[in-house]
A and B are shown apart, each in its own frame.
Chain A
Amino acid sequence: MAKSESKRETANPSVSQPQTVFRHRLSTRIWHWVNAVAIFVMLMSGLMIFNAHPRLYWGQYGANLDQPWLVLPRFPGWATLPTNYDLALGRHWHLAFAWVLAFGLLAYLLWSLFNGHLRKDVALSRAEVAPAHLWEDIKKHARLDFHESEARYNPLQKITYSLVLFGLIPLLILTGLTMSPGMNAVLPWLVDLFGGRASARSIHFICAMGIAAFIVVHLVLVVLAGPVNEIRSMITGWFRLSPPPASSAGDSA
């Protein structure tokens, strides 16, 4: 934090050459965009499938005469894929892009383990998870101050990415498999793990909503942190560090 502040204090308009850093390696960028497409298709086709029976239950079974814990109105056409009700086509989309999502994540995680991305960029250090440090990071987020995290992920970012990479998406994949009667015969313990098919369907929906919430926050933060620079860095890999305030006018134009 001292670094970014000192940079601002020593603002010098004559130093106009912005400093760029290489922030995202190729594997991260490819996975990000492939996964972005897959996640959107999965969410929207998932809402189409949900619309076929917009009720959620806990336990081994659940149908109209059983007690649901959540009943929702059908999601509107703009949120579903396809727009008009078509369960078969929604399932075609969902079950095709499930392969992209699952094997994309698997390839990315294996590759990131191999090239050190997980260890160097995502794993939290002991110092980072110290409460005082986390609190500092929360306060910075509340002030919309993202300068420190320009070159590296900040602790809140690391925690969030870890939750998505190792929590939400794997849970979505496993609960998705649990809903398949064919897979139940192959992996019966999976149904037991989630407490039944109706429970697995509920967890699947909750995780999907978690992903949707992540996307909203992710996009808001990208906009707040400078969308052109952020998106460019996820395409080319190169990120332009904030120039001193004096020359910042007109940036990201």
Chain B
Amino acid sequence: MIITRRNILVGGAAGLLTGCDALGKNEDFRKLLALGEKGNFAIQRSLQDRMALAKEFRPEQRSPVFRVNGTHEPRGQAYATHVAEKFANWRLTVDGLVARPQAFSVAQLMAGPKRSQITRHDCVEGWSAIGKWTGIPLKLLLDAAGLKSQARFLVFHCADKMGFGTPYYESIDLIDAFHPQTILAWALNDQPLMIGNGAPLRLRVERQLGYKQAKYVERIEAVDDLSKLYGGKGGYWEDGAGYEWYAGI
């Protein structure tokens, strides 16, 4: 190859790129990079008042259409049956490290105390949509079940399986679990949740990104350690695609 200035420039740039790609594949370097997001978690948690609310909007500020993302409809006969039965036999169980395991029907949850909030849903991909969510504060369910003192995280088990073959699941820590805006929503924009938006129950954790907002929630499990579940990273996308567990940025 003749060495010209152009070759040096192009070759140099290509070399840098492959170098960066190689670095990105190196496990130790990835851990180093991940420190950035761990730092964000630490600093956001130290700056954030535990009860600080996500911004709430006026009704006319809502998106005309709330986009459906991720699973559009869970596969399998079990979910299809629930749809046919209008979720009359859907049960939300709360178990794991709790004193009194619980099982709630959707009707029971809808009859309980409710909270409505018009908030912005931010997808990790960059789009946002504003909608009104109505549901029962998670705190009430946790109070009913009585968290044991070893419990540190809540895991949300979902009825949908996605591309990686494992069920969707997500997890949050107790700060978010007891946050006033953390609800199990059963309505979007004053209508029962549509299938695409997570019917019959979906988690709302308003200070984090969209992939935390688990849909089709069937079971809430209190655990002391996330590493024993599935891929061990605390969530479907965390295990499968490498997203950060803390989705506050």
Contacts and interface: CB of A to CB of B under 8 A. Distances in A.
Contacts, number: 146
A45 to B, nearest CB: 9
A183 B44 contact: yes
B42 to A, nearest CB: 11
B37 A96 contact: yes
B242 interface: yes
A49 B123 CA distance: 12
B148 interface: no
Interface size classification for chain A: 35 or more
Contacts of B209: 181
User: Which of A179, A181, A183, A201 neighbours the largest number of chain B CB atoms within 10 Å of its CB?
Assistant: A181
B127 A182 contact: no
A91 B67 contact: no
Interface residues of B, number: 52
Contact of A197 (B37, B128, B247): B128
Interface in A74-97: 78, 81-84, 86-89, 91-93, 95-97
Contacts of A180: 40, 44, 248-249
B32 interface: yes
A60 B249 contact: no
Nearest to A98: B36
A174 B24 CA distance: 26
Nearest to B20: A81
B140 interface: no
A181 B40 CA distance: 12
A83 B17 contact: yes
Interface string A52-78: 110100001111111000000000001
A91 B44 contact: no
B33 interface: yes
Nearest to A88: B242
B53 A95 contact: no
Contacts of A181: 54, 120, 122, 206-209, 247-249
Nearest to A180: B249
B63 A95 contact: no
Given A91-B244, A185-B48, A63 B21 contact: no
A91 to B, nearest CB: 7
A41 B36 CA distance: 14
Interface string A185-205: 110100100000110010000
Contact of A186 (B33, B48, B243): B48
A53 B55 CA distance: 23
Contact of A78 (B17, B32, B64, B241): B17
A89 B207 CA distance: 22
A198 B36 CA distance: 24
A135 interface: no
Contacts of B249: 95, 179-183
A65 B67 contact: yes
A225 B33 CA distance: 37
B65 interface: yes
A88 B243 contact: yes
Interface string A15-30: 0000000000000000
Contacts of B52: 185-186
Interface string B71-86: 0000000000000000
Contacts of A95: 36-37, 40, 244, 249
B129 interface: yes
B27 interface: no
10 contacts: A53-B126, A60-B61, A63-B123, A88-B241, A91-B243, A92-B242, A180-B44, A181-B248, A182-B207, A182-B208
4 cross-chain pairs, A with B, having the tightest CB-CB distances, nearest first: A182-B248, A96-B36, A88-B242, A53-B126
Interface of B: 13-14, 17-18, 20-21, 24, 30, 32-37, 39-40, 44, 47-49, 52-55, 57, 61, 63-65, 67, 120, 122-130, 206-209, 237, 241-244, 247-249
Given A180-B248, A184-B54, 13 more contacts: A53-B125, A89-B30, A91-B243, A93-B24, A95-B40, A99-B39, A181-B54, A181-B208, A182-B48, A185-B52, A185-B207, A191-B55, A197-B120
